[in-house]
Structure 1
Amino acid sequence: MSLSKVDMLLHHHPRAVMLTGLAAVGVPWLLNNYRQFRALGQTRLKGPLGWFVALMLTAFGRETVSTAEYDKAATQERWLETPVERRGTRPVTGWHCVPHRQTNRLPSDEMAKRLDAIFEKHAAANPTLVQTIVSPHEKNVLAMVIHSDVPSPHKDAVQGLREIGHIHRIDHSMHIILSPADSKTAIDLGWAERHPLSGVNPFFPFPNNYLPSNYLLVYAPRDKAELDVVERILVASIGYMTGSRSVA
């Protein structure tokens, strides 16, 4: 098309030309973004509508690895003995904040099975402290929650819907809640990151049902040494969320 014809189109149909240009750029990006969303695995947000909701929520997410806010917490109690620093760089997480998943450095099938067994072991070993139900957050995986006979010991437990943690089947990362001091340790040493929506303004998007700022993604373990640390993090989460110092 000659420059004179382009000029004529811009002059007579500027809106149509602009919209066509935006569509040419935007549609491929949106299609690719939808494929990325689908690749993150099963989630409570399903199909194109779920993707659109995830797209909107991601606009309100925040960075996930700063820890200065935990120094200001009212309590500095610890349940986690300081682990070694996690080797290597952090795994990459998906562009979307919901679902919040890692996309590389995934564990072997054997390591994934061992993590499942550890999760089940601690659920069974603490029957007066915890129980397992469908995750109040994910809606499609089993979660460890505070036992119905145990009162919520703090605001984090209430905001976190009394859920201690769950394992994501696609990558075997975990979402858990740690004490503020333990959250700082786990993030600073490379074992975890915050959920992008944790601590976000309570009035949007979920009034009275927002994630506490210490709602963390714990990266999937790649070997026995990392599995041992992840197990200690899980035990610390059980202790903090139930207010117990006697977790088996």
Structure 2
Amino acid sequence: MLDLPARPGPAPKVVGPAPHGQRSQTAPVMLQEELWERMRALPFVYMAPTLVSVPHARSLFIPEGIGTGPREAFQAGREWAHIHPHHDGSLHLTLTEPLKDDIEKSGWGVRHPEQNTILVYGPRDRAELELVWQLVQLSYAYAVGEVS
């Protein structure tokens, strides 16, 4: 379990299930880009067209043979995370059920109504960027088999 602080303020407006995304309290583009650069720099990940999200979502995959994450650690194929276009700024991650519970209870995101992912709200400031970055790293660890 993760000790997440409560997310300040009301939850953003979310639409879905298809597309499933954030429609208010959009993360500043510079924070979205900083998060994306960190995500892309994780070992062994590569970017490819999403298998499950909207056009222009930026998706990350882990090659076959890297890590031992369970099937549930991937959204489709070897895609483990994607960040939505700038007008949205949220991201879908795969995480363990207890972590998804923690994220929902603390107000940092909501489960996808049809897929085994959680929508994590985009960071509104630098402190939130660091928290969301922690969640991304946990998702990555799940995909490579470091978290079960």
Q: What's the TM-score, normalizing by structure 2?
A: 0.86
Measure the CA separation in 1 of the matches of 2:84 and 2:96: 21
Query: What displacement does 1:131 show?
Result: 2.6
Which protein is richer in helix relative to its size?
Answer: 1
Query: What displacement does 1:190 show?
Result: 0.8
1:146 corresponds in structure 2 to 62
Counterparts in 2 of 1:157 and 1:178: CA distance versus 1, 3 Å: closer
Number of aligned residue pairs: 145
1:111 corresponds in structure 2 to 31
Measure the CA separation in 2 of the matches of 1:93 and 1:118: 25
Which protein is richer in strand relative to its size?
Answer: 2
Measure the CA separation in 2 of the matches of 1:218 and 1:194: 9
Unaligned runs of 5+ in 2: none
Are 1:92 and 2:13 counterparts?
yes
1:194 corresponds in structure 2 to 111
Which structure is richer in relative contact order (CA contacts within 8 A, separation 6 or more)? 2
1:141-178 deviation line (CA, Å, top 9, x unaligned): 33112222236532313664332101101211001111
Measure the CA separation in 2 of the matches of 1:184 and 1:153: 20
Measure the CA separation in 2 of the matches of 1:118 and 1:151: 19
Measure the CA separation in 1 of the matches of 2:95 and 2:64: 20
What residue identity is the alignment partner of 1:231?
W
Measure the CA separation in 1 of the matches of 2:67 and 2:29: 37
1:22-70 deviation line (CA, Å, top 9, x unaligned): xxxxxxxxxxxxxxxxxxxxxxxxxxxxxxxxxxxxxxxxxxxxxxxxx
1:155 corresponds in structure 2 to 71
Q: What's the TM-score, normalizing by structure 1?
A: 0.54
Query: What displacement does 1:111 show?
Result: 2.0
Matches within 5 A, 1:61-140: 81-94=2-15, 96-122=16-42, 126-127=43-44, 130-138=45-53, 140=55
Measure the CA separation in 2 of the matches of 1:138 and 1:156: 17
Query: What displacement does 1:139 show?
Result: 6.4
2:88 corresponds in structure 1 to 171
1:227 corresponds in structure 2 to 129
Measure the CA separation in 2 of the matches of 1:221 and 1:137: 22
What residue identity is the alignment partner of 1:133?
A
1:93-125 deviation line (CA, Å, top 9, x unaligned): 12x411111111112232222222222232xxx
Measure the CA separation in 2 of the matches of 1:171 and 1:133: 19
What residue identity is the alignment partner of 1:135?
T
Measure the CA separation in 2 of the matches of 1:189 and 1:103: 19
Measure the CA separation in 2 of the matches of 1:104 and 1:181: 26
Unaligned runs of 5+ in 1: 1-77, 199-211
Measure the CA separation in 1 of the matches of 2:37 and 2:78: 22
Query: What displacement does 1:236 show?
Result: 0.2
What residue identity is the alignment partner of 1:165?
A
Q: Secondary structure at the match of 2:22?
A: coil
Structure with greater Cα Rg: 1
Question: Once the two structures are aligned, what percentage of the paired residues are identical?
Answer: 26
Measure the CA separation in 2 of the matches of 1:243 and 1:118: 20
